């Protein structure tokens, strides 16, 4: 598999992940599986990854966030069941580098306790403060620590957003939901039609 295909399939920097019937069924199974256990992430990485997801989509008074919705279950299952071996290998390598960067910045020896300030600093550095370097880090594909950290965070963010938009509670209570679709109007003002909210997938 060439580099561009790997980037595209893992979701590393080339747009959002496609929401397919498989994606939706995966999410539904995650929500109903009381015996869920991690398949891609290790047990000691779940809390860290969940906290990271919650910094990407935090809870508010009106809307539950990633941690409250347990989106990490979908993310882990999606990676385990949809990505192939090479894609998982690339994601694991980038995640391990990001973990190492976090442990160095937080001066911690393990992931048992999570320093949210250190994660926030890394999120801001890679996703906000250095947007001008995103193309460089993408083209450097896994040849530097910065490239690996950025590629992981970008992929993980896409997974979190996909999981959020696919969540049943969000679909029915936050996005615009119509269980029995009516007429189709092609060109309408989103603000007037749905008060600026997207339609449920």
In a domain, residue 67? The reply is: yes
**Domain encompassing residue 155:** 3-166
Give per-10-residue mean pLDDT for the chain (201 aa). Answer: 46 47 58 74 94 91 88 90 86 93 91 91 93 88 86 91 80 63 64 59 55
In a domain, 188, yes or no: no
How far is the C-alpha of 81 from the C-alpha of 76, rounded, in Å? 9
Say if 129 falls within a structural domain. Answer: yes
Check residue 32 and give its pLDDT: 57
Confirm whether 48 is domain-assigned. Answer: yes
74 occurs within a structural domain: yes
Position 197 in a domain: no
Number of compact structural domains in the chain: 1
Distance of CA 182 to the CA centre of its chain: 32
Q: Is residue 186 part of a domain?
A: no
Q: What angle do CA 49, 52, 54 make, to 5 degrees?
A: 115
Instruction: Say if 182 falls within a structural domain.
Output: no
Give me the pLDDT at residue 1, please.
45
CA distances from 201 to 7, 68, 174, 176, 192 (A): 24, 20, 12, 9, 20
pLDDT at 14: 34
pTM: 0.77
Report the C-alpha gap between 160 and 50 in whole angstroms: 10
What whole-number distance in Å separates Cα of residue 158 and Cα of residue 34? 25
State the virtual CA torsion across 173, 174, 175, 177 in degrees, nearest 10: 10
User: Length of the chain, please?
Assistant: 201
Give the model's pLDDT for residue 192.
64
């Amino acid at each position: 598999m060439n580099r561009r295909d790997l980037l595209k399939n893992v979701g590393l920097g080339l747009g959002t992940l496609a929401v397919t019937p498989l994606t939706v069924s995966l999410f539904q199974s995650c929500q109903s599986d009381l015996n869920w256990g991690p398949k891609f992430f290790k047990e000691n990485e779940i809390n860290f990854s969940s906290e990271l997801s919650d910094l990407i989509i935090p809870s508010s008074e009106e809307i539950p966030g990633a941690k409250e919705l347990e989106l990490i279950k979908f993310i882990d299952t999606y990676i385990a069941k949809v990505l192939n071996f090479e894609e998982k290998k690339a994601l694991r390598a980038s995640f391990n580098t990001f973990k190492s960067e976090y442990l160095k910045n937080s001066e911690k020896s393990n992931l048992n306790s999570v320093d949210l300030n250190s994660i926030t600093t890394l999120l801001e550095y890679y996703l906000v403060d250095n947007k001008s370097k995103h193309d460089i880090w993408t083209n450097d594909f896994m040849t530097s620590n910065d490239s690996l950290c950025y590629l992981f965070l970008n992929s993980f963010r896409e997974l979190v957003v996909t999981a959020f938009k696919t969540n049943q509670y969000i679909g029915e209570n936050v996005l615009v939901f119509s269980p029995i679709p009516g007429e189709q109007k092609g060109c309408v003002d989103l603000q007037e039609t749905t008060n600026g909210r997207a339609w449920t997938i």
